[in-house]
Amino acid sequence: MKKCTLILLFGMLVPPVLRAQYRFVHEHLLPHTAIESQDRTGTCWSYSTASFVEAEVMRKGHKPIDLSEMFVARNVYKDKARNYMLRQGKANFSQGGLAHDLLREAANSGVIPEAVYSGLPSGQKKHDHTELEHALKGMLDGVLKGKKLTKYWPVAFEGILDAYLGPPPHSFIWEGQTTTPEQLAARLDIHPEEYVTITSFTHHPWYTSFVLEIPDNYSNGSYLNVPLNEMVDILDGALEKGFSVVWDGDVSEPGFKAKKGLAILPVDIKRTDLWSTPGPEKTVDQQLRQQRFESLSTTDDHLMHIIGTAEDETGKRYYVIKNSWGEVGPYKGLLYMSLSYLQLKTVAITLHKDALSDEMKRKLGMK
């Protein structure tokens, strides 16, 4: 059973000054729960957003809780299956997902503590959804060959989930009371309508809402579009006000290295002191960002939880990121993302709408 550990400002997990590689000083470090590992699964979206929701639960004044990522992932698999079958196989079905998927399913189907439902069958210590994904999609594709659906396929689909993840409880004891997943979500104040997803791409008008064209957006979630500098301002303002943020972006750049605890965009990727000494980084503008997205050089291949900001010894800004790959690297699962990397490789950010300024709400038609 994992422990849910509250990490306060200048908390226990990472001291305010770090000297393992670069020398970082935290500007903001928001309360967050312990580092976890998604293991051999494509469920980073569930881990990052569960971590975000856990931080939101604390921000709203509730006790810390460790939520089951696999309970929500299980329900999203079912939702994806329904979408896939109704679209006759002409839709995405994979392990991937987005922040709004967890928020939606947490409201629809509820949440469960990790201690109650781990998604690990008896005897299994690490998650691995490779065979599970093949079994689920193979079954769906096989059923579709019949050209007509019966009422039995959802039951069979649920049986596969039970075999690989274990059946979830209909109710459980939480804080001395019998509780359902739906009741727990309500008690923790998890309301998807309170959250917005912000992006920045020029192929849609500014300050409008649109469905972003990425494979994992199977549920056609809406994104609010703002210029790049304003997206960064929104992020900075949120962290300053005490709101953490879900980051969705690309980690395929050579400057992203979890084992070094860094996500940087160096001008010279081959310099010998790359991982020990800060150096010049590429300048990113709206045009370069758009080119990378439209060439598929930037894809939504990973989601993480932004919990603060820091500066290196040169005064350059970084974002403190909580990853879901276990306690890897010198910062035990945290990494530091430079502003340049964030500007280029961010697909979107998700945050509470109260973190937006009144002026931004007005621009987005929210006031």
**What is the rounded distance in angstroms from the CA atom of residue 115 to the CA atom of residue 75?**
18
Each residue's pLDDT tens digit, 2-25: 344 343 433 444 444 444 479 999
User: Coil, strand or helix: which one is 202?
Assistant: coil
For residue 234, give the nearest of 314, 316, 346 by alpha carbon. 346
Tokens for 192, please give them.
Answer: 């998807």
Taken in order of first residue, the domains within the chain and their CATH numbers are 17-363 (3.90.70.10)
Query: Which whole number is the average pLDDT over 293-313?
Result: 97
CA distances from 23 to 95, 260, 330, 338, 341 (A): 37, 13, 12, 13, 18
CA distances from 84 to 72, 81, 137, 219, 340 (A): 18, 5, 9, 11, 37
Burial of 311 (0-12, 13-18, 19+ CB in 10 A): middle
Average pLDDT of the residues of the chain = 93
Sign (positive or negative) of CA dihedral 353, 96, 104, 89 = positive
pLDDT band at 355 (very low <50, low <70, confident <90, very high): very high
**What is the rounded distance in angstroms from the CA atom of residue 299 to the CA atom of residue 202?**
16
Q: Higher model confidence: residue 205 or residue 14?
A: 205
Each residue's pLDDT tens digit, 11-67: 444 444 444 479 999 999 999 999 999 999 999 999 999 999 999 999 999 999 999
Write 155-160 long-range contacts (CB < 8 A, 24+).
157/78, 157/81, 158/78, 160/132, 160/135, 160/136
pTM, 2 dp: 0.92
Tokens for 206, please give them.
Answer: 């500014």
Q: Looking at residue 52, what is its pLDDT?
A: 98
pLDDT band at 147 (very low <50, low <70, confident <90, very high): confident
Each residue's pLDDT tens digit, 254-289: 999 999 999 999 999 999 999 999 999 999 999 999
Query: Which whole number is the average pLDDT over 164-185?
Result: 96
